[in-house]
Amino acid sequence: MNELLRLPSLIDMHVHFRTPGQEYKGNIESESCAALAGGNTTVMDMPNNIPLITTLAHVKEKKRLANQQTHCDIGFYLGTLGDEDQVFSPQLLDEVFGLKIYMNSTTGGYIVNDPLKIESIFKRWESDKPILVHAEGNTIAFALQMAKKYHRHIHVCHVSLAQEVKEIAQSKNKRGEVVSAEVTPHHLFESNIADEDDDHRMRPPLSRLLDMQMLWQGILDGTIDCIATDHAPHTLAEKISETPPHGVTGLETTLPLLLMAESAGYITLQRIVEMTHDAPLRILNVEEQYNTYIEVERNIPWEIQGTHMHTKAKSTPFEGRTVFDRVIKTVLRGIVVFENGRILNQPGKGQVLS
pLDDT in tens, the chain (354 residues): 579 999 999 999 999 999 999 999 999 999 999 999 999 999 999 999 999 999 999 999 999 999 999 999 999 999 999 999 999 999 999 999 999 999 987 766 799 999 999 999 999 999 999 999 999 988 999 999 999 999 999 999 999 999 999 999 999 999 988 999 999 999 999 988 765 555 667 889 899 999 999 999 999 999 999 999 999 999 989 988 888 898 999 999 999 999 999 999 999 999 999 999 999 999 999 999 999 999 999 999 999 999 999 999 999 999 999 999 999 999 999 999 999 999 999 999 999 998
Per residue in 164-178, pLDDT tens?
999 999 999 999 889
pLDDT for the residue 137: 84
Give the residue from 249, 296, 250, 252 showing the smallest Cα distance to 273. Answer: 296
In a domain, 26, yes or no: yes
Single out the residue of 163, 165, 113 nearest to residue 134, CA to CA. 113
The predicted-structure confidence for 262-306, as pLDDT tens digits, reads as follows 999 999 999 999 999 999 999 999 999 999 999 999 999 999 999
In a domain, 348, yes or no: no
Residue 93 lies in a domain: yes
**What is residue 352's DSSP assignment?**
B
Angle between helices 209-221 and 162-175 (to 10 degrees): 20
Identify whether 37 is part of a domain: yes
Q: Is the pTM of this model over 0.75?
A: yes
What is the Cα–Cα distance from 24 to 239, expressed in whole angstroms? 13
DSSP three-state, residue 281: helix
How many domains are contained in the chain?
A: 1
- Whether 350 is in a domain gets the answer no
Provide the 3-class DSSP secondary structure of residue 101: strand
Helix/strand/coil percentages in the chain, nearest 5: 35, 20, 45
Q: Are 79 and 109 in contact (CB under 8 A)?
A: no
Q: Which residue range(s) make up the domain with 123?
A: 3-343
For residue 241, tell me if it sits in a domain. Answer: yes
Does any domain span residue 349? no
Q: pLDDT digit string (tens) for 71-107? A: 999 999 999 999 999 999 999 999 999 999 999 877 6
What is the structure's pLDDT at 2? 75
Pairing of strands 131-134, 99-102: parallel
Alpha-helix runs per DSSP H in the chain: 28-37, 56-69, 90-95, 115-124, 139-149, 162-175, 185-189, 209-221, 236-239, 254-263, 269-273, 279-284
Cβ–Cβ under 8 Å, residues 75 and 100: no
Is the residue at 352 inside a domain?
A: no
What is the CATH classification number for the domain harbouring 299? 3.20.20.140
What are phi and psi for residue 135, nearest 5 degrees? Answer: -135, 120
